[in-house]
Structure 1
Amino acid sequence: MRAAVVSNPSTAAADRRAELAAGLERVRARIAAARAAASRVDDVTMIAVTKTYPASDVLLLTELGVTDVGENRDQEAAPKAAAVADAGARPRWHFVGRLQRNKCRSVVRYADAVHSVDSVRLANALSSAAESVRDRVPLEAFVQVSIDGDRARGGAVPDSVDPDVGVPAVAAALAAAPTVRLAGLMAVAPLGWTPERAFDRLAAVAAVVRAEHPGATALSAGMSGDLETAIAYGATHVRVGSALLGMRATLR
């Protein structure tokens, strides 16, 4: 009878570390090439989006020099952030998924930045929740922009005068919040749009917001498949998942 093969946890961890290191090298090379092609001299922050991946992957990424980690769902992010903190690592956590107002009090306890503020009501709820967390630095917040105006996928609407979901109103609410800092804008290229068209539109919206709020210089745009185009149009933050960690299981 053939003996059962027992996996070696240390070997598995070393193999995973090597996989992540290779992915990280490829992504960093892509970012560097995109910055050079766009004659960018400023830095571009890579956010490693670790949804569906374990805290052990986050710890390996921090060992490899990754400083910024993104999550989409609070029910996964909160315990993962706690596990990572318990292990002694302190990455900057970015909440990049759709956020419900009733989750704000949980999210502000671990997130350093929220990229998905798309209404004045959410901005106010986030600010109120941040007030309850003692001794924290202001929470960075991005206005999520619906580039095509379709609210079904989330995002405030450019050029809208709606007092709750217009981009100008949401930006103003964040700028006025004492516990939040308006960092800039975030968007995802809509289905059916080329990245060039989407990020050109986002850059135009960003220029309007910056005219009113000069400190809102951050632009969170671009993912594994379109980060080069996003950088060409001014992205300061790119959110990378599969190109770094591999293909993930389908979320339910």
Structure 2
Amino acid sequence: MSDDGGPDHGDRTRELGERLRAVRARISSAAAAAGRTEPGLIVVTKYFPASDVRILAGLGVTDVGENRDQEAAAKAAELEDLDLAWHFIGQLQTNKARSVVRYAHSVHSVDRLPLITALGKAVRGERERRDAAGLGAREDLHCFLQFTLDAGADPTEAPAGRGGALPIDATALAEACAATEGLRLAGVMAVAPLGADPAEAFERLLRISAEIRAVAPAASAVSAGMSGDLEEAIAAGATHLRIGSDVLGPRPAVR
């Protein structure tokens, strides 16, 4: 506790600082070993309080990830004084698109055509709202197409899975996203399947990325890698890492 009876964030600041330095050291070491440029770090702050995000911002973090709209919207509103890019990484219902585009810089979980349509419509609506209110312009929403990697060596044979489109739908999704006003096709995203070799999984993602770039050459971003497999993701060419527990520690109890 602080002298005035309020919470003392000194210990938490030191803890987050140490954890963040350790993760950044892992990233630097992995990038050097692979001969690659260091990818961007997105700190996944889901279930952690806005006070932690504020501490992280003070430690130089600029990109944060959330996977529940209600939680993300509240944090973004509370921390609007900070220069942060909010990345929505969870499964997204189409009826939440309007809310998400009010604060999100990017969505990493675009996995179906109706969601692409809903996000484009939401961005255009948000632009109209901001224009009428005399607010700043809403930039294009950066969209990562999420794919399931629950498959064998041939990504065209991937079964439908939770949290990701079929790789065989890559071209159609890319064409739709690239053609939708208000959206910017950034690249691809995936989570390595549990129990699978992450290196092999991320190699499949790179093959999907090549298909996306055939449609939109600038869509070269690859969102891959979490606390347990960031080295494999960097070796495969990830441009964005989504790290939660190794920076923030054990997840707090969810009420």
TM-score (norm 2): 0.89
Task: Verify: 1:37 aligned to 2:33, yes or no.
Answer: yes
RMSD: 1.4
Structure 1 SS opposite 2:167: coil
Match of residue 75 from structure 2: 80
Map residues 120-131 of structure 1 onto 2, 5 A cutoff: 120-131=113-124
The letter for the 1-side match of 2:12 is R
Deviation at 1:197, TM superposition (A): 1.4
Aligned residue identity for 1:22:
E
Quote how far apart the aligned CAs of 1:10 are. 6.7
Q: 2 CA distance for matches of 1:100 and 1:251?
A: 21
In structure 2, which of residues 209, 222, 226 is the aligned counterpart of residue 223 of structure 1? 226
Q: CA deviation at 1:133?
A: 1.3
Equivalent position of 1:119 in the other structure:
112
**2: CA distance, partners of 1:72 / 1:31:** 23
- Counterparts of 1:1-252 in structure 2, within 5 Å, are 7-8=1-2, 12-40=8-36, 42-85=37-80, 88-134=81-127, 135-148=137-150, 149-159=158-168, 166-249=169-252, 251=254
Letter in 2 for 1:58: V
The C-alpha deviation readout for 1:41-85, integer Å capped at 9, x for no partner, is x34110000000011111110111000000000011100110011
The change in CA–CA distance for 1:33 and 1:94 in structure 2 (over 3 A counts) is same
Moved over 6 A (4+): none
Could you list the per-position Cα deviations for residues 174-211 of structure 1 after superposition, in whole angstroms to 9, with x for gaps in the alignment? 11111010000000001231111111111111112212
In 1, Cα distance between equivalents of 2:108 and 2:253? 22
Q: CA deviation at 1:170?
A: 1.2
Q: 1:223, CA displacement in angstroms?
A: 0.2
Q: 5+ residue gaps in structure 2?
A: 128-136, 151-157
The verdict on how the C-alpha distance between 1:133 and 1:189 changes in structure 2, with shifts beyond 3 A counting, is same
Q: Does the residue aligned with 1:113 lie in a helix, a strand or coil?
A: strand
Percent identity over paired residues: 54
The one-letter amino acid paired with 1:137 is: E
- Alpha-carbon distance in structure 2 between the residues aligned to 1:45 and 1:153: 25
Aligned residue type for 1:50? T
- 1:94 maps to amino acid: H
How far 1:249 sits from its partner (Å)? 2.9
For 1:213-233, what per-residue CA distance to the aligned partner results, in whole angstroms no more than 9, with x for missing partners? 201110000000100100100
CA distance in 2, matches of 1:251, 1:99: 20
